[in-house]
Structure formats: C-alpha cells, structure tokens
Structure 1
Amino acid sequence: MTSAAQADSPPNVVMLISDDQAYDDYSFMGHPNIETPRLDQLAKESLTFRRGYVPNSLCRPSLATIISGLYPHQHGIVGNDPPYAAGPDSPKNKFADPKYLPIRNAYLQHIDRMNTLPDRLAPLGYESLQTGKWWEGNFSRGGFTHGMTHGDRTKGGRHGDLGLDISRKGIDAIDTFLDEAVENKKPFFLWYAPFLPHTPHNPPARLLNKYKQKTDSVPLAKYWAMCEWFDESCGEVLDALSERHLDENTIVLYVTDNGWINQLDSSRYAPRSKRSPNERGVRTPIMIRWPGHVKPMMDDSSLASSIDLVPTVLNAVGLPAAPELSGIDLLDPKAVENRKTVYGDIFEHDIVDMTDPDPSLRYRWVIHNNWKLIDPAAQMNEKPQLYNLASDPNEDKDVSASHPEVMADLQKRLDAWWTPKGH
C-alpha cells in the first residue's frame, strides 16, 4: 500500500452501505438466484473480506458504529428509538405525540458528543456529503458539510427523511456534489446509505418479473429484486466516479448495516436475522477498493468488522491513529493476520435508558477463530449458545454442553471486552 503522504492529494473516500441484506445475498457470495453484477465486479477489484461483521444487527446503532469506529455501548446509540411511555390519551402513532418529541431530540446528544469520520477528515480540507439513511438529526450534526437529511422531527424527520430519496429517485445530489468537488479541487467523503434493499419492497417491474420466474413466493421475489436494484444503484455511484476520472484516487468501502432473512409470506424479516446475534444478522462482506494502492484479493478466512472502517480510512489519509478506536487497519496485513476475535452487542429496538446501555442489552457475542459464543443478558431468560462456524455455518447445532473449556475461554474474552454492570 502507498501512503497518502506519497500521493499528490489526499484520497477521496466513498462508503457504500447496504440496508437490510444477508451476507450471502450476492452472486459473489454464492447466492443461486440473486444477481449482483456491479458488486461482483467491485469485489473482484477490492480487498474483500467474506467474513466481515457488524457489532449490532439494527440499523441506527450499526450506522453510528460505521461513522464513528466505536461499539454501540461506547457511542451510546444502542437502539432505533428512545423510551416512550404511552398514556391513556396518547395517539396510536407514538411519533405523533408531542410529549415524545423532546425525548427524541434529547437522544441526539450522542451524535453531538461523537467524533465522526467527517469530523476527523475536516482538518485535511475534506468536504463530506450525507445521502440516504441518517438517524442523527440534521446532516451537519454528523460533521457533514453537505447533506440531504434535514432531521426536523416535526417534519417527518426520523431516519433520513429527504435523504431516503437517493437512488430510489436518482442520484442528482451526488452528481452535483462530485462536480463541485472536482471544480473546487477538494478531497471528499461520500456517505451513500440508500434505503435499499430495505422495505418497502417495491422494485421496478422489470426486476420483479425476472425474479418471479425463480420462486413461487412473491415476497421473496420482491426482496431478491430489491437486492439487484441496490446493486444497480451502487453501479450508478461507481459510474459517477468513473465519468469524472476519480477512480484512481478514491477509496471505496462497502459494508451492510445488518442482515435480513425474508419471510416467504410477507415482506418482513424472519427470526435469526435482523436484530439477532446470529450470522444472518451480523455478518456482511466488507470491501476496500483503492486502485494502485490495495491489491485485489478475496479473503475467505480473516475476520473484519465495521469498527475497522474508520481506523482504516484514517491511516490511508495519513491521520494518526486515535487511541479510543479499538479497530484495526484492514490494509495492514500483519494486523489482519493477528486479528483472531471480533465482538458485538445487541440491544432493544426501543431503548430503556437514555444514557446507560446496560438495561437495553439483549445479547453479547464473540467469535474467536471459528468458535462463536452468544451470551444472552439476564432479561432474555436464555442459555448461552456455542457454535463451530467452520462445520456449522448456519448455527444449527449448539455444542455448548460438549465444549465447556471453549465456553469458558470465550466467556473470559467477552467479559474482558465489555462487562455490563450487574452481569
């Protein structure tokens, strides 16, 4: 890898973020029906970690980790919505309750205290554009200089508002931003988190008709079609870079916020996917493309995590490592080789406490080599589970009873990483 200091100008940074997609719902990950030609090509051009993970399988805390490099229990955004106490006269829709508005706004305290990737890049002259999913109020609260999300809770602001139009209604905002960056000769950071393949599953008819030929389940056909629509949308962004001759000096990173298993009878997620600590909740491919700097390679065994994305970018642009970030530089082969363990924590969708993550905790999980421990919080009333991912990648057989020594080792690692109060 060539350091940024050796380049004529700092590299641009683009994050492509899928929304609700299982780790193997791509052609290059082996799906027999879903076609993803643009992401297949990106994977060939990238250092691609097929064993990537996100610590949390819910969008808001996962996205906060991607933008900060911190675990949810560290950055404080552990669920999608803050606590709500309904009264006898409360509206059916809690978001229409004026008493809930100040609570929702108060929860933005966490992004205001966070040192985000746009914050860190700003001293180097970077301009940053937010598009797509964004929960944390106005884009500027995340350190972005440009953005689509107004974040006004009284005008429909919750998880992206106008930003959710990106790709579903074209990429004009990205085209305009890139043109200005080229004209002004400014390095840039682009946050591309389209509302795809997320529900509503309303793909173009041409794609839906294609996938209806592959399954008797219309909801499943819709989801598969959404995955290809998302693939096409990533292609639009990559083409926008190419058309402006920005490929060579742009780092493109890919990750998904959380997994998904589509039910056969409705456009909803099934158990053991979104919001779960299971593989189809937390696993994702992670890609890094930087022509001339990063050698393309398909890595089937190394463990990568979304907490690594910020440290990787910081090192690539020549910024010093931040001691509060525990992730590794994924472009450092030795660091990748030495990484044997990844961690995560799963919390309630609607949090219990505004500042203390512990009451909202559902699970902690750890993977060491090929062993995976899922440790439920006391409130879950469940037993810990142990899986050997090498022989049981779908987590069908809990082997905790037959491997007490592995259980003890993983529990010790998990507790050394983070032990909630009262655990």
Structure 2
Amino acid sequence: MKLFNSLLLLAITALLSCQEKVIQKEVKKKPNIIFIISDDQSWGDYSFMGHPHIQTPNIDALAKESATYTRGYVSSPLCGPSLATIITGKYAFQHGQTGNDGGDSGKGPTLWNDKDDEELRAKQFKLSKKQGLNYLYSEKRNELFDVVKEKFYQNKLLTDYLSEAGYRSFQSGKWWLGSWTEGKFDAGMTHGDYKRKGRHGDEGLKIGREGLEPIYNFIEETQKYDTPFFVWYAPFLPHTPHNPPQELLDKYMKVAPSKSVAEYWAMCEWFDQTVGALMRHLNEKSIEDNTLIVYTTDNGWIQSEKHHVYAPRSKRAPHEGGVRTPIMFRFPGTIEPEIDDATLVGNIDLMPTVLEFLDVNTEDLPGINALDKEKSKAREALFIECYSHDILNVEKPAETVLYKVAINNRWKLMIPNPKMVLREYEKTEEQFMGYYSNKVQLFDLKNDPGEMVNLAEKHPEVVAHMSQQIDQWWQPTE
C-alpha cells in the first residue's frame, strides 16, 4: 500500500510539473502585434465617439474591448512626421522627418488628389496636373528627401527592437521613408522608388482597398514557424481618393449635406469593414487573444462640403480637428477594457507602451507607458509640433515649424512661428486665409472644445507657465 501511495504521489507530482511547464510556456509565449493606423480621419468620425451618421461597428467593438483613450493626440497633424513618430517613439524635431517631402525653398505646390480640384490647383500654382506630378516625383525633390532619410535612419526603430526580441515584421499601407527593407521590416509592400512613382506607400497603398491577402499570407507564414509577428497596417483609408463602394455611397448620400461629405463618410465605413475583416481573420486562426492591437490615426480631417479636400482647422493644423484621435490598446485578459475620456495619451506613447508591455528595454524615449496609470496622472502636458508640408531646409528641418503646442487637462497653448504661418497660410494656401493666427493662442478645452475664444490675454500666467514647458521640451539639434 505504501509503495502504491508513493508511486501515486510521484505520478501526481510529475503531472503537476508538466502542467506547470505548459502554463509557463503559455505565459512566456510572445504576443503578436498589429498597429492599425487610420489615414486622415477626424477624432469624432466613429459611431462610438458619437457621430450621428457614420457607422463603424467593428472599430466600436474594438474600442469596447480595449483600453480606449478618447483624448488621444498625434504628435503632428501631417502623416509623414506623425508616422515617423510612431515608428521611432520620438518627436519630429528629434527624428528629423518634419514634412512629407523635400522642398525647393517652398516654391513647389502641395497637390490635391482629385481631378475635381484642378481649378483650385491651376488658380493657386498655375500648373497643369501633369506638370504638378512631374514636380512631385522630380529627381531634385527626392534627392533632398534622401538627406532627410539618411538622418532619420540613424534612429533606432520599433522594428529594430522587435527584431532583437525575435519578431518578424510586415509593412503595408502608408510608408514615406523609402522601402520596407529600409524600415527594417522582414517583408512588405512599399518599394519607395520615386522613378516608379514610389512616394508615400506606392504598392502598399493597395492594402485594404484591394483586400488584405498580403497580411493574411504573412501571418500564415509566421504561424508555420511559431514566430511572433508585427504587422504595420496603415491603409490609404479613408484618405482621398474618396471612391467608396457604391452601396456605401448610396447609403450616405441620403443623409450627408453634399456628395463630397457622403463620399468621405462612406470611406470611413469602408475602412471599418477592413478592420472587421482583419479581426475575423485573427479569430479564425485562433490568435486573436494573443495579439496586441494598437489603434490610432495619423492625423485628423474635416471634410469640405464643396471640394474633395480637408476643411480649415483640420489636417495640417494644430486645432483639435487636426491632432486629436482615439487611441486603443487591446489584449484580452491583460489589458483591462475601459473608455477613458480624461487621460491624455499621444502617439508618442505607442512605442514605449508596446515595448514595456513586452518587457523590452529601450533607450530613453520622450513618451510614457500609457497603460501605467501613475505615469499618466503625473504627466503635466502633452506636446504637438505642426510643420510645413515640405521640409524647406533639409539640413535644419525644425526651422519649418508652424506651431508648437502644449495641452493639459484643461488648457491648450499654441505658439506660432509668425514668418512660417504667414508663408504657409497666407501666401501659398489662399483657401485657408483668415483661419489661422500668427498670435499666441490659449484655449479652454473644457469650456470651449471648438477653440473659438482666445484667452491668452486674460490668462497671462497660464501662457507663461505653458510656454516654459514648451521651451523645456523643444530642444532641436542639428
């Protein structure tokens, strides 16, 4: 009997030991990571954020299952610098990509995407569409941007850290900085060759609009080798051209004030459908619960009712319509779902949050772990930098700053660079004349979320304190 009991005890001990090893293996299994990055979408253009017409059921579900911060902010209201911040964890004055393109003293055009706007373009720049595109892909312009790229790739990227941690990475969608290989991805879609019209994503811009098969194929490949993956899903959605599926356009034509608005609203739902397709695929592959989902936009957008362009005080502007976005982190069982309407979170925080979640040590970064409530509460201000579309001096890219911005729980301070503001909005973008100020602006976001009343003269003590915070933060190096 004693022998039997001893054998039984050994068997139970061995079984528990095996179970413990299985549990340890499951705990140590590295999570997959997917960044979902909307392109040109206003912070309020989701049904869960209260939009009365736009339907986004899939992103709504994601928000419900995530730590969702409705007061999220991008570091810059322009896609190139904003995306570069996401992949470096640094501000544009630190990583060097302050604009979308290299410029030639600012004399070249900023092109619209749609043929309906040729009249605006002709009036503004006296250029045909063909002339404009020749300029956009000119050798000189791209040689200037090569200087920016050379400096940029001195930064350590998120993909560098993930590669060291055993991840394989895939690039799709928007990517300004050459090819996916330059971005240290293991696979991708963007070639970045301007001679083949490679500028801001090229082949990568097909993702979402033409399905998600490249991502699905990459996930399947990594599963074969039991390798954790990172997917950069930054589709050209709802970005122009606004050419949604007809059934979605018909749906929104019934409620929108104009066709251009209906097209944009339909694009938002089309993007949402791709998010739903991606989440369903993860579920079908039984990896949804071991995949960290991170959601943000690159910059804001308010749709013009008359043209296929953004309205003033949105994209490329420091106002809420240009810089605010919901930010989400989803990982079932570890990240507690909640809708947080108070905490300030920036896209500057995405990289440190993800790497700390993975227990990966990093260099000193300006962002924080957004999931650390103590650090979030201790944050005194979040900062934003607004630049010219073109990097007019590639040797000193920070010179083209338009506004430096600080935000806290109540106040928002905008400090202009008067010379650049005048050049950008009065001389080269006449449709925006009168909407932007070259004066210091202070807004009470709690009582004036529309940023209509400048309180800078009434609260000089707030201006002085927040200006000092900006001066301490803003430290460009050449």
Q: Same fold (TM over 0.5)?
A: yes
Partner of 1:392: 448
1:194 deviates by 0.2
Map Cα deviations across residues 389-421 of structure 1 (whole Å, 9 max, x no partner): 000111011111111111111111111111569
User: How many Å separate the matches in 2 of 1:259 and 1:166?
Assistant: 20
Partner of 1:125: 166
Equivalence map 1:60-209=2 (5 Å) = 60-84=80-104, 92=132, 93-209=134-250
Partner of 2:465: 409
Partner of 1:58: 78
| 1:249 lines up with 2:269 in the alignment | no
1:106 deviates by 3.2
User: How many Å separate the matches in 1 of 2:362 and 2:353?
Assistant: 9
The structure with the greater share of residues assigned to helix is 2
User: How many Å separate the matches in 2 of 1:391 and 1:347?
Assistant: 27
1:355 deviates by 3.0
1:91 deviates by 5.2
User: How many Å separate the matches in 1 of 2:313 and 2:398?
Assistant: 22
Map Cα deviations across residues 264-286 of structure 1 (whole Å, 9 max, x no partner): 01110011000000001000000
Tell me the secondary structure at the aligned position of residue 288 of structure 2: coil
Map Cα deviations across residues 359-415 of structure 1 (whole Å, 9 max, x no partner): 211100000221000000131351100000000111011111111111111111111
User: How many Å separate the matches in 2 of 1:101 and 1:62?
Assistant: 20
1:293 deviates by 0.5
Tell me the secondary structure at the aligned position of residue 34 of structure 1: coil
Structure 2 letter corresponding to 1:68: T
Gaps of 5+ in 2: 1-23, 109-129, 423-437
| 1:303 lines up with 2:344 in the alignment | yes
Map Cα deviations across residues 327-347 of structure 1 (whole Å, 9 max, x no partner): 111121211222231001111
Change (3 A) 1:27 1:265: same
Change (3 A) 1:50 1:356: same
TM-score, normalisation: structure 2: 0.84
Equivalence map 1:3-18=2 (5 Å) = 7-18=27-38
Map Cα deviations across residues 47-82 of structure 1 (whole Å, 9 max, x no partner): 000000011000000000011110010000000000
1:206 deviates by 0.5
User: How many Å separate the matches in 2 of 1:419 and 1:154?
Assistant: 36
Structure 1 letter corresponding to 2:231: L
Gaps of 5+ in 1: none
User: How many Å separate the matches in 2 of 1:207 and 1:194?
Assistant: 18
1:111 deviates by 3.5
User: How many Å separate the matches in 2 of 1:5 and 1:72?
Assistant: 40
1:125 deviates by 1.1
User: How many Å separate the matches in 2 of 1:294 and 1:330?
Assistant: 11
Query: Aligned match of 1:356 in 396, 412, 422?
Result: 396
| 1:272 lines up with 2:313 in the alignment | yes
1:353 deviates by 1.1
Structure 2 letter corresponding to 1:316: F
Partner of 2:411: 371
- Indicate if the aligned counterparts of 1:387 and 1:395 stay in contact, CA closer than 8 A: yes
- Indicate if the aligned counterparts of 2:179 and 2:193 stay in contact, CA closer than 8 A: yes
Map Cα deviations across residues 262-313 of structure 1 (whole Å, 9 max, x no partner): 0001110011000000001000000000011001000010000001000011
Partner of 1:342: 382
User: How many Å separate the matches in 2 of 1:265 and 1:83?
Assistant: 29
User: How many Å separate the matches in 2 of 1:245 and 1:359?
Assistant: 49
| 1:39 lines up with 2:59 in the alignment | yes
User: How many Å separate the matches in 2 of 1:335 and 1:101?
Assistant: 41
Structure 1 letter corresponding to 2:349: D
User: How many Å separate the matches in 2 of 1:339 and 1:104?
Assistant: 35
User: How many Å separate the matches in 2 of 1:39 and 1:355?
Assistant: 41
Equivalence map 1:255-294=2 (5 Å) = 255-294=296-335
CA RMSD of aligned residues (A): 1.8
- Indicate if the aligned counterparts of 1:111 and 1:141 stay in contact, CA closer than 8 A: no
- Indicate if the aligned counterparts of 1:133 and 1:193 stay in contact, CA closer than 8 A: yes
User: How many Å separate the matches in 1 of 2:305 and 2:475?
Assistant: 38
Structure 1 letter corresponding to 2:456: S
User: How many Å separate the matches in 2 of 1:420 and 1:182?
Assistant: 43
